[in-house]
Amino acid sequence: DTGVSQDPRHKITKRGQNVTFRCDPISEHNRLYWYRQTLGQGPEFLTYFQNEAQLEKSRLLSDRFSAERPKGSFSTLEIQRTEQGDSAMYLCASSIQGYTDTQYFGPGTRLTVL
Amino acid sequence: EDQVTQSPEALRLQEGESSSLNCSYTVSGLRGLFWYRQDPGKGPEFLFTLYSAGEEKEKERLKATLTKKESFLHITAPKPEDSATYLCAVQAEETSGSRLTFGEGTQLTVNP
């Protein structure tokens, strides 16, 4: 069990550019979640997958954001036409479907939009 | 809409000075209440899950308790390495999805 991994750990981009983040969940975890966290706030839910199906998206999620989990393993989160307000820590978590559903988080990707 | 409120926002303790953090919540059917620890620049680290009122869980110097409206994280004789932000989150019943709704956290500093 190597834990949830995320890549890159840091990303600096200019406003208007597209960025893509990757998340590798704990092996055998079939649920994968994306959250966003800004300074001084708790994580905010963005979306989640069960296997390859995207089952829930936050109403706050702009249409500039898209996530995929094509084979039910790793996931990517893409942000198109980045804005300064997108600057945040993007966290990925995974869990095993079940009543307990405890989510284990990765180290996060810190995005800075200049 | 599910809501979580944590207090205090920040807490400064001397080493060995015990205290409690509070998490008040409203949720449409609680499936679980979670406590996480987060160090600066890192992802949240899972501590406890509580499922029903009256339940208690312990790990080293930490003890979490749950009532129908709130949860407490008791820290006994804290050490400087306990300094971190402690996050509380709730998960609603399965039909409401699997998202966690987090509070803003309590930033704990333990001075030697």
Over chain B (112 residues), the average pLDDT of each successive run of 10 is 95 98 93 96 96 96 96 98 98 79 98 96
Query: CB burial class (10 A; 0-12, 13-18, 19+) of residue A27?
Result: exposed
Which distant-in-sequence residues (6+ apart) come within 8 Å of A59 by Cβ?
A: none
User: Looking at chain A from residue 51 to 110, which residues have their Cβ under 8 Å from any Cβ of chain B?
Assistant: 55-56, 58, 91, 93, 95, 99-108, 110
Whether A100 sits inside 8 A of B49 (CB atoms) is yes
How far does A41 lie from chain B, in Å, by closest CA? 5
pLDDT of residue B71: 98
pLDDT of A47-86, one tens digit each?
999 999 999 999 878 899 999 999 889 999 999 999 999 9
Of residues A48, A100, A104, nearest to B32 (C-beta):
A100
pLDDT of residue A61: 84
Cβ-contact A50, A57 below 8 angstroms: no
pLDDT of residue A72: 84
pLDDT of residue B94: 67
pLDDT of A22-43, one tens digit each?
999 999 899 999 999 999 999 9
Q: Which chain B residues touch A100 with a CB distance below 8 Å?
A: 32, 49
Of residues B31, B41, B98, nearest to A31 (C-beta):
B98
Shortest CA distance to A35 belongs to which of A90, A104, A74, A110?
A: A90
Of residues B32, B46, B104, nearest to A40 (C-beta):
B104
Q: Which chain A residues touch B36 with a CB distance below 8 Å?
A: 105
Of residues B42, B44, B98, nearest to A43 (C-beta):
B44
Give CA–CA dist A10/A12, Å, rounded: 7
Q: Which chain B residues touch A106 with a CB distance below 8 Å?
A: 43
Mean pLDDT of chain A: 94
